[in-house]
Structures are given as C-alpha cells and as structure tokens.
Amino acid sequence: MTVPYTLTRLGVVMSPNGDPAEAEGVLNPAAGRTPDGRLHLLPRLVADGNVSRVGLAEVVLDQGVPVGVERRGIVLEPDAGWERGNGHAGVEDPRVTWVPSLGLHLMTYVAYGPLGPRPAQAISKDLRNWERLGPLHFAYQPDLDTDLNLFPNKDCVWFPEPVDGHYLLLHRPMWDLSWIAPREGTFLPAGIEDDRPGIWLSRVPVNEVEQDIRNLVRLRDHRLVAMSEYDWEALKIGAGPPPIRVDEGWLLIHHGVTGEMDPSTDQQQNVRYEAGAMLLDAEDPATVLARSPRSLLAPESPEELAGTVPNVVFPTAIEAIEGELYVFYGMADTSIGVARLQRGT
C-alpha cells in the first residue's frame, strides 16, 4: 500500500506584526472552529527570551482559500507554576482536536517548566476559554521497565473519535536526558534498541473520561507506532495534526528531521524539518499500513529557508474548507504557512 496524498504549498497566512508578544515568531498553530463555525488558528506566539503563549486568530479566506488572519488575542499564558522554569517559561506548540462525542476541543501543549518540556492538557467548548487539566500522566507499564513520566515528551495529539472504546493519544517521548540532566545520559524502555525519538500511542477508556473529564490525562497501554525509517527523517520523527479518517484507515501527517542537534540551545540551527504521511490501521492505529518514503513538503520558500530556526516546515493543524483539506504549518519557527492536501501521486 502507498500513501496516495500530496501537499501543495499555497503561501504565508501569518507573520509577526511587531507586537512584543510575537517578537521571536508566530508558528506551529493548532486550529478549530468557534461555535459560530468560523475557522481559527491557535498559534504559538514567542516573545523575547523564548517565552511562548497561545494566541487566537480568525482565518481570512479568499474564494475558500486561507490567505491571512485577524488576531483575536491570547488564550493561554504560562501562568501555572509547572509551566515556568528558572529563566524560561512557555506554553508551546498546541495541537487541538475537536471530539464530537465529548463536545470539547482537546488541546495538548508543551509546558516548558522546571524539568524541561512536559506534555499538558487543556479543554474548551469555544476555543477562547480554556480549562487546564494539568500535565499528562503515563501509567507505569511493567513490560517497558521504565516510567514514561521521567522523560521529556512532545508532539502529543488526540484522535478525533474513540477507537475500540478508548480515546487515543499520539506522543513522542525523548530518551536522552543529558540536555536537562547532563549526568544521566540515555535510558531506553525494555525492548527498544533505537534511542531516536519516535511516535508512540497511549489510550484511556471512554467510560472513565465520561465519568470525570479529568481522567483524560491518565493514559495507559503505551505502544510504539513508528520510528525513523527513511533518509529525510533520519534524526527523529513526530506526529503533526490530529489524524483524519480516510478510506484506507487513519491518515497521519508527520514531520521528519535530519541534521545535528545542539543540546545547548532550544533554537536549533543545523537541522532540517520536512513533512510526510503515514496510514494507520483503522481498528488498530498502532499498526502502520504505509508511509511516504519521500517527504511531501520540504523547505523551499524563503520563509521556510530562513528564520529563527532555518529550513523548517512543521505541520500542526488540518482543517476542511469547502470540501478541500488544508494543512497549516510552522515556517522556520517564524511564520505560518498553509498547504493544500489532496489525493494523488
């Protein structure tokens, strides 16, 4: 089986406007619709000192195609103690999934707190008012012989509907602790021999979430989904926008990274991010049916080649507009672009 989809860049939809809250970039947005049906982005806004907030911006359309935004303010700031560290703070890289069975938008985001990046959860009915549920908690699993809560984690995103009586979350643990605890080095779960960050899946029973929405953060049954496989994703991979249901199963847009990571900085200068896709089994999304051997979108435009972190396309949101699918993505950690997703070769 192949992945019969293409991505075609359409241009920039949001760039910094001179506001101090955007001094270091607008990037990596989530997306969703307010109760009136209007499409919005929830961009990561980065102020001086690499302090991140989550904004709200209504998408401007021209003949059904996203061409810009109108800013609607800030909806999440690093107010909680576990979102602030010594000399740094942030609520970063939100991913938002609308889950009809809950009547809620589920936002996962990265809390840049005292022990580095940790995944966290917030919920909303309208995209404007968000309730924090706190950090995600990964239940101890004896066969892994480790505690996933010990490790930094990013790229968390929920599926839009339950599968086999569970809500499912994709995430990306990072086993190398040396950049936050230099003496610790790398620790791998039992059965894992590759220390590169890959895509994992965890879940929580629907009935527990229906009993108490706070149970959403209590994840279990952790399984590896995919590791780096091709040259364009040699360093690491991570999930992008929420998976979407297609004829073949679940379509997951993901990013792949090549280059060299510098553990001394958050704003890497020697890496390259590209976007590809996987097809996951409809009934068992931890099973990969197919994946793109070559990236579907790579840095080519000036906005993707130069910025806070050059050579980056980083997909984080996908939305349907008038029957077409559009993927919103970060451009060089500075601006936001949009690409059309279509079936084809």
Q: What is the CATH number of the domain that holds 92?
A: 2.115.10.20
In this predicted structure, what is the pLDDT of residue 268? 63
DSSP string, 40-98: EEEEEEEETTTEEEEEEEEEEEETTEEEEEEEEEEEE-S-SGGGEETTEEBEEEEEEEE
Answer yes or no: is pLDDT of 320 > 70.
Answer: yes
In a domain, 324, yes or no: yes
- What are the beta bridge partners of residue 235? none
Percent of the chain with pLDDT over 70: 97
In this predicted structure, what is the pLDDT of residue 2? 85
- What are the beta bridge partners of residue 237? 256
Answer yes or no: is pLDDT of 265 > 80.
Answer: no
Evaluate whether 257 touches 237 at the Cβ level (below 8 Å): yes
Ranking 128-137, 253-262, 270-279, 324-333 by mean pLDDT, the lowest is: 253-262
In this predicted structure, what is the pLDDT of residue 178? 80
In a domain, 345, yes or no: no
In a domain, 344, yes or no: no
| pLDDT tens per residue across span 93-136 | 999 999 999 999 999 999 999 888 899 999 999 999 999 999 99
In a domain, 99, yes or no: yes
User: What's the pTM value of the predicted model, to 2 decimals?
Assistant: 0.96
DSSP string, 11-40: EEEE---S-GGGTTEEEEEEEEE-TT--EE
In a domain, 133, yes or no: yes
In a domain, 276, yes or no: yes
Alpha-carbon span 108 to 210, nearest angstrom: 19
Answer yes or no: is pLDDT of 269 > 70.
Answer: no
How many structural domains compose the chain?
1
In a domain, 277, yes or no: yes
Q: Which residue range is the domain that position 250 belongs to?
A: 5-339
In this predicted structure, what is the pLDDT of residue 261? 65
In a domain, 322, yes or no: yes
